Each structure stands twice: as structure tokens, then as C-alpha cells.
Amino acid sequence: MGWGNTLTRRLKVFSMALFIYFDYKAVQKRVKWVGASKKDAIWTKTHERNARRVLNLMIELEGLWVKMGQYLSTRADVLPEPYINVLKQLQDSLPPRPLEEVRGTIEKELGKAMNDLFANFVLDPLATASIAQVHRATLVDGREVVVKIQHDGIKEIILEDLKNAKSLVEWIAWAEPQYNFNPMIDEWCKEAPKELDFNHEAENTKAVSSNLSRRTECESGAVSSAVDVLIPEVIQSTDKVLILQYMDGIRLNDNDSLEAYGVDKQRLVEEITRAYAHQIYVDGFFNGDPHPGNFLVSKEPPHKPILLDFGLTKRISQSMRQALAKMFLSCAEGDHVALLSAFAEMGLKLRVDMPEQAMEIATVFFRRSTTANEAKENIKTLNDQRERNVKALQEKMKMNKKEVDAFPGDAIIFMRVLNLLRGLSASLNVRIVYLDIMRPFAESTLLGSMMRGPTANSQWIYDSPVNSEVESKLRNLLLELGSNKILGIQVCAYKDGKVIIDTAAGTLGKYDPRPVQPDSLFPVFSVTKGITAGMVHWLVDKGKLKYEETVANIWPKFGTNKKELIKVHHVLNHTSGLHNALGDVMKSDPLLVCDWEEMLHQITKCTPETEPGSEQMYHYLSFGWLCGGIIEHASGKKLQEVLEETIVHPLHIEGELYIGIPPGVESRLAALTVDMEELEKLSGFRAGPDVPQELLSNVAQMATGLPVLFNTLNIRRAILPAANGHCSARALARYYAALGAGGSVPPPHSGGGSEPPLGSHVHTPKFPTMPSKKKKKKGGSKNGQHDTSAADKDGYTQLRTSDGSDEGSAASAVVGNGSGSGDRMFGDGAKMLDAFMGVGDFSGMIHQNGKFGLGFRRYGYAGASDKVTTTTFGHSGMGGSTGFCDVEHGLAMAVTVNKMSLGGVTRRVVRLVCEELGVPVPDEFSVAGDKGPDMVLNLAPPE
């Protein structure tokens, strides 16, 4: 192609673009002065004439412009209807090339005369496309074939068109910034030239055909990935000629024939979608150009799709396949943490504090497809929503639009395929639920390595030193239980102040195959109550609170609706009568629990169901707001400030124990799932009288819904002191080791040298993209307590040390108060131990024969004559996580799990450790012992 021709093509493209641009600008001004009834007619005519201009130019120039027109003609969910109707003509044959050109190319490429190659060659082409045209023929051996012949000189034209298209897209982005198609055209510039080598297409066709004939197992073991499509056999290929098996079929735009043959268009598009899901997720090798012209439908029932034209294929790495699968499945599950992890694995590190916007931007790619008419109504709403989300991300993260849209090339072409499939379903007027169809394929690739289990995965147990013989036996038990019962788990135990177990195993989530590490953060549900209770006891020890005083004395607004007589010890002992308070919130408006101040306000309006102190009924949800309100009003500080001052800093467990996580720790979060097989055992279960019936009435439904809710960052970042603690087992075990020692801070966590060291994390990370704000130093604080900065707008307050600097560094965390130099959490440790258990001077504050002391579950020993002891206490959480200590035997232990079950794994672990150490097994963890009301989902029958 000479320079003159090149310049002519370029001038035609840009002059037409300018002409159309000014036409639309003129109409925009014109319609301002006409009535609403005329506006639609004017815009329809404008679209029609400009669509014809685009069509005529594309037909004239051929090459890449035809391919672009074919792509746009499938986007009935994006372009105005006149453009779709006009550009659909490009899916039909273009004007054919002269027979002399076709003959010359065939004979030159194959090295033989036409008569020596074919017994018959049909002169009229079946189709003429942008790069080649296709003729039907019969080989000399009698086989029916199609011959694809590349247009002469098309390679130079395509390469020049790519340059022009790139320039045009850049100009459009400059003139109308909301229309930035640079990512798409950049990927096209990289991939389109591959279509010009038919040997490449032949190999691709063979590979895809082989891949789709395989049968792949899904998680359940059933074959889910067998795809029922047809692909022509490759007979022969050269650089510019491709001979394929002939397959008689119906074109997708031939609606009359589709109707006449009774083709099920819904099933057709679903099967095409399954074929692409297999190519993308299972094979990592897919056709990047699924426009209608690349499909036929077989005329014989059951009318299978015929896949054609594999010139533009894309190969993606195993890691990218897993990232795309994780992105897809995290959208399906609403798992913000896994979504951000998927983005990071793609190389797109958003580091956002706005999980809802990130989820909405990703989910739009997998939304249910719509018919063309519905799509036109929805697309403006979707575009507006996306623009709002992108703008919010830009403002929050100080990023420009290019950074927000900076998806890697593999992800862009993946999204382009989804858009083409969406356009295909819209053009055939069917609806496709992509999440349902693609899910088994995404699961097969993401769960493939995970489902092999611990025996095939040497890294299933995290590689950390073994601290003791009992830890070695514990790890063998975890391998025995395997991935059928365990998803992710952490176990840590102190004996006489020394770490004897510090083990992590499994993965962070069902759709997050990253390994659990010692510093991973697990949601522990009601284990959080034991942490919250510890803060109340600390305030009593510091003289800021008394167990006997009424809550209304501390919190005046609380003293309404018959709550005037409720005392602090009633709250700690679950006898306040508010056991069902606000439980209906989780049913009617679950996200309302994220509003800390509103929930405190709501708790002040509640009325007790029973007289304070008369009946012990487990306060499954209200406990957190009751204690939280007491803590904040007694201390004059935010709950997280008290948590850090009381527990986190003294024990040097920074970054590994939270009630409401701060932004910046998402990469360490474990995601919840449910052991459905175990959950079925709950059918017909009847709990004791100390468990509210409201809690058990829908326990199965609640258990299946909670992981979805508690995997969202909205809930994880909220303050729910009864339910949403996030911690590592080693931080939780250290907490109970300190409580068991009457508040004495244990020596630094040894843990066999596990990395990173406990306490080495920054407790409240800062976003690198967010500018740091200078904080003004406050004056001296009352009672020598830490100064604090104002809470940020998310309600998370960052502590300041007494000298006004930011919280301590990792080095100070390791060598500070935890040096074993006699530092204490409490002034009177013996008194606090009695209070935890509700014995001695505090025996009159607990319910007779109740399972709770003041804030902690009291454990008896399996087989012991006494129902409770005075030395063992702790708190378990729904689904299996737990923390407890046995004061008499010097044992403190914590187990965190992310596969919610009936507690069987936790009981097996605790029993093994206790039996190996010669320590009595607490009844909560015995085979047939008395389980606490806090273990609602841990009430399994004997193993």
C-alpha cells in the first residue's frame, strides 16, 4: 500500500469523524428548542444518517474497520437501535474479491493448480469478511471443505488502520473525556495482527477443539465442564490459506431460519457461554472475537452451536485465570476481600477504602444479560452508576481516571468477550444469567489446587517451626481431618506462660487460595464478647466503673422503659432481660448494625422481657451494644481507643486484634464459608432454656446467610462488640494467657520464630495514596491517659502515645511492656479472676447454676461431679472459633476457623491438646459434655 493510499485512508477516517461529531453537536443545540415529542424523532434520524455514513465508509475501507463495525453491531445494549440495524449488514458478506486474486493466492500458497487441488470449487463465496473470504469446495479425495483465502495486501491495510484507529480513539477521549476507549484499542493493536497468519489460526482451532472435548471435574465431583459444541476439523493451512471441514449451518442473524428450524435460542446462547467459560477458566486459551459472524447453528437437532474463526485468540497464565475466577466468584458471593485480592493479583492495586464502589464496578461485567429493548432502558442507568463509582474512587484515592481504569490487557480482552457475549444474547432477544452458567468453570480452576487437599499440598500447613511434641501431633491431626473439614485454621496455646503451639493451616477462603499465616485475621463472632468483657473489667479495676451500679447512672439515656434497675453485672451475666434486644435488626435491615451511634440509640429505647437478675438468657447480639455503651460512657473514649489502651498495646498484639477493622488490613482477612453437611445435623435440634428461641428458630437460614454478610467490608469495619472481632489465634491466646495470670503480661510471644513476629504490624495502616494529615498536639490528658486524635469519618480512631507521636513502632512492640518485667493489665489480679468466674465476693452477682460468670463462660470438666470449676473460663463463637484459659493448669488456648461448622474440628483440637498435656478437657469441648449457649452452632451430637 503506497503512501498516497495511506494518506487517503487516514483523511477519510478523520474527516468522517469530524463530520459526524459536528453533526451531533449541532443536533444537541437544536433539540433544546423543540418539544419532547419531536426530540426522539430528530435523534432517530440523526442516528440513522450517521450510521449509514459509518457503514459506507467501513465497506469502502474494509480491513479493520469492518471488524470494528461487526463488533459494534453486536452491542445492542450500548448503541442506539439505528446503528445496530445498519451495522448488522457488516455481518453479511462484503463485496467479494475477484476470482483471479483468489486463484492466484491459492496456487501460490499451496504450490499446485486449482484443478489438482479441488474436484469442485464453488466460485461464489459463502462469505466475504474483513480479512478473507470463504468458498465451498470438494477436495480431489471427495471431502467437503471450506477454503478461507486472505485478501491480497490486507496485512498492510490492517496495520495502517490500527494506527488510524488509535489516533481516532485518542482524539475522541480528548474531545469527550467520558468516552475513553484507549484500553480496548491498545489490546486490539496487540492482538489483531495475529489474525493475519492462518497457520496460527489452524493451530488455535486444533487446540480449542481438543480443549473443549475434555471433561473437567467440578467441586462436587460431577462433570460440569463438558461442552456441547461443534468445531470444524483443520485439513490444511498456510500463511494465507486455510482449508477446514465443511459444516452446514444457519447464521445467527438469520432469524427466519432459526425460527423455521425450531432452534432454542436460549439454550444456544447458554451453550456458547459455557464454551467460552471453559476456554477462559479451564483452558486459559480462548477466542477473543465472539461476534455473530463467528458462529453457525447446526441444522440437525439438537441444533448445536458451530464455533468458527480462531484467528484472534488469547492465552492467559494460570495465575491470571485464577485471578479472573476469583474476581468472578467474589462478585457472585459479594466478598469484598476476595475481590480486592483478585484485583491485586491482576496487578490492579486499588487499595481502596470504598468496597461498595469496587464491587459494583466489577459486578456490572457479570450482570444478567437483557433483551435489546430492556438494555436500552438500563444502559444509561448503568453508565451513570459506573461514572459515580469511578468518580468516588478518584476523589477518595486521589487517582486520575486513567489509573482507575488501568486494568491489565488480559482482563480487558476478557471483559470484551463478556461484552460481545452480552451483545449476542441481546441481539437474539434472550436473557443469560452469567453467574449461574460460568460459576462451575470458575470454581473448577480456582478450587483445583485447593481441592487436592493437604496430602497433595505440602504448603497446606504453614511452614513454621514446631514448638513442642504436642504441636507435632496436632499438625498430624489437622492433616487427618483434611480439607473436607477444614478450610483455614489457626491454633495457638500457652502453657505456663510459654508458647507450645503456634500453627496455621489451610487457605484464607473458599475462593481465596492464599495460605493462612500466623498473622491472618479471622472473624470470630461471639469470641468477641470475651474481649469486650475484658474492657469492662479493666474499667472496674481502674475505678471508673462498679459492677453494682446501675447502667443508667453511667449512661443516663439508658434509664428508660423499665431499664432503671439494670446493673452492670446484669449485663455481664446475661440477666438484664434484653436478650432479644435489636435481634430483629439483622432480619429487617442488616446493614443498620454498621451505624454504631444509631444502634446505641436504639438500645436505649428497648424494654426488658424479664426482670433484671431473674433469668439468664444468652444476649447473643445485644451484649455488644450494652457493654459498648457502658465502656464509652464510663471511659469518655471511643470503644476502639479503650480496646487498644486496655488490651492491644499492653499485650503488644498490634495489628492482630480488632473490633471493627481499619482500612489497610484487607489482605490478611480470612473469608467465611459454611460446612453445609454439618449444618444439616441441626434439623430438629432443641436447645436448653438459656438460649433464646428467637435465636434458634431460623438458625440454619441465619448460618447460611451470615458468611455472605460478614464477608463484606461494611460489616467487618463496623463496631459490633458482640460479633465482629477479627484476630489471629496467637493474639487471642496471648490475651487469655494474660487473663489466666490475673493480668500479668506474658513474656514476648516466642511462637517458634513464626513470621512476621506478633506485634510487628502497624495497628492502623495508612493508605499510601492518601496524603498524611498533620495532627495538632493536644494538651495534657486527664489521669495521665493517652491523648487521642479525632475519629475519622468512618468512626475509627487512631491512638496517640503520651508524647504525641503516632503509635509505637514494631521494634517497641517487641521489646516494650511484654518483656516479662512484671507489667500487669490489672491492679488486683486475684480479684479480677474471681470476677471473671463470678466466685468469692462476686458469687452473688451471677445466676445460680448459670453457665456464665461476669462476661465469660464458665467451664466444667468432662466427667467431673461439679458442673463448673473456679479456674476455667473463656468464650466461643458461632461456627467454631474459641479462646479460653485454665488457670489451675496454666493453659491458655485459641482456635480460629473460617469454615463454620458444629464445632467438631475445634473440639477434636482442644481434646488432643488437653489429653497430651494431661489437662482435664473442658466440658465445652468434650465428646458429650455440657455445651454453652454461646456455641449455638457448635451443638453437634457426639463424634
Catalytic residues: 289
Q: What are phi and psi of 65, to 5 degrees?
A: -65, -35
Q: Which three cell numbers stand for residue 586?
A: 439483622
Candidates 564, 533, 561; CA nearest to 547 is 533
**Location of C-alpha cell 500487669:** 824
DSSP string, 747-783: SPP-GGG-SSPTT-S-SS---TTSPPPP-PPP-PPGG
| Alpha-carbon distances, residue 684 vs 677, 697, 698 (angstroms) | 15, 10, 12
Collect contacts of 828-836 with beta carbons under 8 A, ≥24 apart: 828/541, 829/741, 829/742, 829/743, 829/744, 830/742, 831/541, 832/537, 832/541, 832/739, 832/742, 832/743, 833/739, 833/742, 833/887, 835/537, 835/540, 835/547, 836/533, 836/537, 836/739, 836/873
| Alpha-carbon distances, residue 309 vs 109, 148, 296, 425, 549 (angstroms) | 20, 10, 11, 19, 80
Q: Say if CB 670 and CB 881 are below 8 A apart.
A: no
Q: Say if CB 670 and CB 508 are below 8 A apart.
A: yes
Report d(CA 48, CA 82) in Å as an integer: 5
Q: What are phi and psi of 866, to 5 degrees?
A: -80, 145
Beta strand pairing call for 522-523 and 498-509? unpaired
Q: In what order do the strands lie in the sheet with 657-659?
A: 522-523, 725-727, 657-659
Candidates 185, 177, 536, 101; CA nearest to 390 is 177
Q: Which three cell numbers stand for residue 180?
A: 475513553
Number of CB atoms found within 10 A of residue 127's CB = 18
* Cα 596 to the center of its chain, rounded Å: 25
Q: Say if CB 537 and CB 832 are below 8 A apart.
A: yes
Report d(CA 137, CA 714) in Å as an integer: 63
Peptide bond into 302 cis (omega under 30): yes
Amino acid identity, position 13: V
DSSP string, 278-314: IIIIIISEEES---GGGEEEESSTT--EEE---SSEE
DSSP string, 649-697: HHHT-TTSEEESPPTT-GGGB---EE-HHHHGGGTT----TTS-HHHHH
Q: Say if CB 639 and CB 599 are below 8 A apart.
A: no
**Location of C-alpha cell 487436592:** 452
| Alpha-carbon distances, residue 850 vs 297, 310, 423, 520, 592 (angstroms) | 71, 71, 64, 35, 32
**3-state SS class at 898:** coil
Q: What are phi and psi of 845, to 5 degrees?
A: -95, -5
Amino acid identity, position 811: A
Helices and strands per DSSP (H, E), number in the chain = 36, 23
Q: Say if CB 270 and CB 276 are below 8 A apart.
A: no
Report d(CA 658, CA 721) in Å as an integer: 10
Report d(CA 439, CA 511) in Å as an integer: 11
Report d(CA 324, CA 321) in Å as an integer: 5
Q: Say if CB 862 and CB 898 are below 8 A apart.
A: no
Q: In what order do the strands lie in the sheet with 857-858?
A: 512-515, 498-509, 488-495, 891-897, 882-886, 872-876, 857-858
